[in-house]
Structure 1
């Protein structure tokens, strides 16, 4: 691939993955909103555990889909011919571990960096989402505690 092709294809796959990731975050928010009323009566630690486990499950599905998209692209573009190498390279690049035992040639180096950028953005969004979920649960618990205290007095 030329440099321009690498940038264009990299941007396209990055965009697709982020659309999927943001869509999964939106679905996750809806699921958590509907579940939150069902777990309201439980202790705070259990609420947080249930909500975070649900959120993590949905986020793991999103991240897995994104890694498989990159793995498929590597195969389709003929960069890797073996699924084992393709998935491994996708995971190592996506997580920015970059072991270096598998590398791509100059015709795909710029393109490969887009896989790393996809992972960085996806993990960043996921982390922010999980922090927001936890914070919301803690604020809701504080507000519930405060309203119960006011009713007693």
Structure 2
């Protein structure tokens, strides 16, 4: 794969993954907002636990989907021949752990690096989302005089 192709395809997959991340976080906001009235009536501990469970569950799902997207990309590109290795490589790259025991050829290295960039963006967005969600929970407590 040429440099231009790697940049183009890497950017495409990065965009797809960030759209998945954004879409699932918007869905999470939708779920939490529609359940806000019910959350106002329950104890603080359970309210915080419910918000965290929903938010963390959807965030983990979003990251898992993105790892599978990258695994599919390296399989379709022919860079890795089996799903087990592709998912392992994608997970190690996405989390920027990068053990180095599975390495792609020169024609795919830049493309694979986009998987790491995707993970960096997604983890940053997820962290900011969790902080914002908890801020809302704490604001509810202040409104209720707790």
Q: Normalising by structure 2, report the TM-score.
A: 0.96
What is the correspondence of 1:1-153 to structure 2 with a 5 Å cutoff? 1-145=1-145
Q: Give 1:64 deviation, angstroms.
A: 1.1
Mark the structure with the bigger radius of gyration.
1
Paired position in structure 2 for 1:150 = none
Q: Give 1:131 deviation, angstroms.
A: 0.6
User: Superposition RMSD on alpha carbons, in Å?
Assistant: 1.0
Q: Deviations over 1:69-126 (max 9, x none)?
A: 1101111000000100000000000011111111111111110110000011011101
SS at 2:144 equivalent = helix
Q: Which runs of 5+ in 2 are unaligned?
A: none
Quote the Cα distance in structure 2 between the aligned partners of 1:35 and 1:17.
27
Q: Give 1:23 deviation, angstroms.
A: 0.7
- Greater than 2 Å deviation, 4+ residue runs: none
Q: Normalising by structure 1, report the TM-score.
A: 0.92
Q: Which runs of 5+ in 1 are unaligned?
A: 147-153
Quote the Cα distance in structure 1 between the aligned partners of 2:124 and 2:51.
19
Q: Deviations over 1:21-72 (max 9, x none)?
A: 1011101000011122112112212111111101111111111111111101
Count of residues paired in the alignment? 146
